[in-house]
Amino acid sequence: MITLNFPNPMGEEGWGLWVALYFFLAGTGGGAYLISVLYCSQERVRRAALWAFVGVVLGSVLLILDLGQPLRFANLILGGVYPSSVMWLGTWFLLLSGAGLLWVMARPTSRGVQYLVAFLVALVVAYTAVLLTATARPFWNASPLLPWLFLASSATAGGALLQLLAPHERLKRLVVGMALVEGLMVALHLLWTYPVAQGAVLALLVGPLAWAFWGFVVLGWGIPLALERRHVGLAAVLTLVGAFLLRYFVVLAGQV
Amino acid sequence: MPNPNDFAILFDASRCIGCKACQVACKQWNDLEAEHTRNAGGYANPPKLTASTWLAMRYYEGLRPDGEPYFDFVRGACMHCTHAPCVASCPTGAMAHREGGVVTVDQSTCIGCRSCVRACPYDAVHFDEERGVVQKCTMCYDRIANGDQPACVKACPTDALTFGRYQELQALAQERVRVLQARGYPRASVYGLKELGGTHVLYVLTDHPSQYGLPAAVREAEKRAMGGWLSAGIAAAVMGMGLKFIVDRREAFKGGRG
């Protein structure tokens, strides 16, 4: 038996930095592709597909390395059919969306194919939230808003990534709109879960995770919103930092 | 509902003296290492279940609203649920029901993703850092499959633990609750009859389950996941169309002016 544990600041039992990073990579890349399919021109779609592919592949690598038995990762695919397991569904979404993105990237494809791949990518982004919602941890499961939050954040971060590569007026409006939705969702989720997950919410507001939470609010959300008009590049970079911090504090707060 | 002939354990809190013989017997039979712990201000030790502590007693003390003191003990371990969230969340089939309704993890196929650790409402599944797989109570499957009792049941000196077939133990539990209610425990109840499709470990309690730190309303992992997918679908539709609408409308305004 070969054991290959990836260092994890939470202790190895927890879902920590690597899972948060993987949610961020898959979310941001996926968000960029979703935004480009829905609102951008053909050539942008193919470039965004590349970024989404990188995100999905890097994320999958992190996911595998974070396993207690990374060399058995093939059990995820060959072990059987378990549709009640969100982790199993997510593995297939990752695999199928990766293949789809490769296809979109490799050669010009029809709108229909791009929308089909977008559906798979949306499932990947949503799965990162549903994985947490399906657990027994009150901070994750007490409110139905985690999928809303992760989808909004993915759209914001994906839009910011596209902005960074090629600024566009239309994208700017999208990013600002989605950032406002994201902020609203964070606030609503905290209010909703407070009665049953006081410890987690307090850890975010004033406790050991306050740096990540307020770092997101100020650095990753407030400042980019204020800078969006003048320094698009800086705002985009900060938005990406914020998207990571958001996933980090959500993942850790559920395990306080 | 568990199969009437399934294996089951009955824990009777009204008979428990909190001696931890079950906890020690579990460690001995399953060859689980001792842990370095600190005094956490209570009698529970270790304070929570881990990969090498599959059964640990929890202790609750204080004053009831009427001023009467209480000092209650409860068994903390896997409940072997019929609709077990750990089984539902396992992506490889390593965590599964065995014959007789017992939930165990196959250590040769577990990949160590820790989904089950997050899924369990009883905090009964834990990650073994050395082996890279998860560990939990097996209801001493190696013993019960050979006609013996689980180690914890065998060690109990006050008959607070009973091992047997589900149907018999369910009847025994309900009869015991009737006796307790007649003896001045109006809140006595059986825990585990409805939770997660019925658990194969039943508790007779003298007070409300929350008094013993037991989750009162637990939902199946499948239902939680379905709720999550539904919420995600609505979110994607609402936000996608909302954005499209806003962007297109703005564009139309611009076009009209330009």
Here the CATH number for the domain that contains residue B186 is: 3.30.70.20
Evaluated on CA atoms B30, B33, B34, B37, the torsion sign reads negative
Contact A120, A97 (CB under 8 A): yes
Does the annotation place B22 within a ligand binding site?
yes
Based on the fold, state whether residues B165 and B233 are members of the same structural domain: no
Q: In the predicted model, what is the mean pLDDT of residues B130-139?
A: 96
pLDDT digits (tens, 9 = 90+) for A51-79: 999 999 999 999 999 999 999 999 999 99
pLDDT digits (tens, 9 = 90+) for A86-107: 999 999 999 999 999 999 998 8
Q: What is the pLDDT of residue A3?
A: 47
Instruction: Give ∠ CA A155-B228-A124 in degrees, rounded to 5.
Output: 45
Q: Residue B98: is its pLDDT beyond 90?
A: yes
Helix, strand, coil distribution of chain A in percent, nearest 5: 75, 0, 25
Based on the fold, state whether residues B195 and B226 are members of the same structural domain: no
Strand partners, B75: B57
Number of C-beta neighbours around residue B67 at 10 A: 6
How many domains, chain B?
2
Q: List the structure tokens of B166.
A: 């589900």
Residue A8 confidence class, pLDDT cut points 50, 70, 90: low
Q: List the structure tokens of B2.
A: 């568990």
In a domain, residue B31? The reply is yes
Evaluated on CA atoms B193, B222, A186, B237, the torsion sign reads negative
In a domain, residue B256? The reply is yes
Q: Residue B246: is its pLDDT beyond 80?
A: no
Among A34, A80, A25, A88, residue whose Cα is nearest residue A57: A25
Among B12, B18, B5, residue whose Cα is nearest residue B172: B12
Based on the fold, state whether residues B78 and B105 are members of the same structural domain: yes
Element (H, E) at B12: strand B7-12
Instruction: Tell me how close the Cα of B158 comes to any Cα of chain A, in angstroms.
Output: 33
Q: In the predicted model, what is the mean pLDDT of residues B189-205?
A: 96
Does the annotation place B41 within a ligand binding site?
no
Q: Residue A2: is its pLDDT beyond 60?
A: no
CATH topology of domain A17-253: Formate dehydrogenase/DMSO reductase fold (1.20.1630)
Based on the fold, state whether residues B148 and B247 are members of the same structural domain: no
Based on the fold, state whether residues B159 and B258 are members of the same structural domain: no
Mutation for B interface: A76, A133, A143, A251, most B CBs within 10 A = A133
Based on the fold, state whether residues B18 and B123 are members of the same structural domain: yes
Element (H, E) at A255: none
pLDDT digits (tens, 9 = 90+) for B105-133: 999 999 999 999 999 999 999 999 999 99
pLDDT digits (tens, 9 = 90+) for A132-163: 999 999 999 999 999 999 999 999 999 999 99
Structural domain range at position B243: 219-258
Look at A147 and B119 and tell me if their CB atoms are within 8 Å.
no
Does the annotation place B62 within a ligand binding site?
no
What length is written for chain B? 258
Element (H, E) at B109: none
pLDDT digits (tens, 9 = 90+) for B162-177: 999 999 999 999 999 9
In a domain, residue B91? The reply is yes
Q: At what angle do helices A42-65 and A86-106 cross, to 10 degrees?
A: 140
Q: Measure CB to CB from residue B91 to each of A12, A85, A173 and give the nearest one.
A: A85
ipTM over 0.95: no
Among A115, A144, A113, residue whose Cα is nearest residue A129: A144
Based on the fold, state whether residues B250 and B201 are members of the same structural domain: no
Percent of chain B with pLDDT over 70: 97
- What gap in Å lies between CA A194 and CA A113, rounded to an integer? 42
Q: What is the pLDDT of residue A86?
A: 96
Count of CA atoms in the C-beta half-sphere (13 A) of B137: 29
In a domain, residue B2? The reply is no
In a domain, residue B1? The reply is no
Look at B236 and A73 and tell me if their CB atoms are within 8 Å.
no
Based on the fold, state whether residues B190 and B230 are members of the same structural domain: no
Q: Residue A178: is its pLDDT beyond 70?
A: yes
Based on the fold, state whether residues B139 and B257 are members of the same structural domain: no
- What gap in Å lies between CA A218 and CA A220, rounded to an integer? 6
Based on the fold, state whether residues B50 and B168 are members of the same structural domain: yes
Q: Residues 158..187 of B with a Cβ closer than 8 Å to A: which?
A: none
Q: Residues 93..112 of B with a Cβ closer than 8 Å to A: which?
A: 93-94, 109-112
Based on the fold, state whether residues B50 and B155 are members of the same structural domain: yes
Contact B117, B124 (CB under 8 A): no
In a domain, residue B197? The reply is yes
Q: List the structure tokens of B106.
A: 């196959």
Based on the fold, state whether residues B110 and B187 are members of the same structural domain: yes
Q: What is the pLDDT of residue B146?
A: 95
Q: What is the pLDDT of residue A80?
A: 94
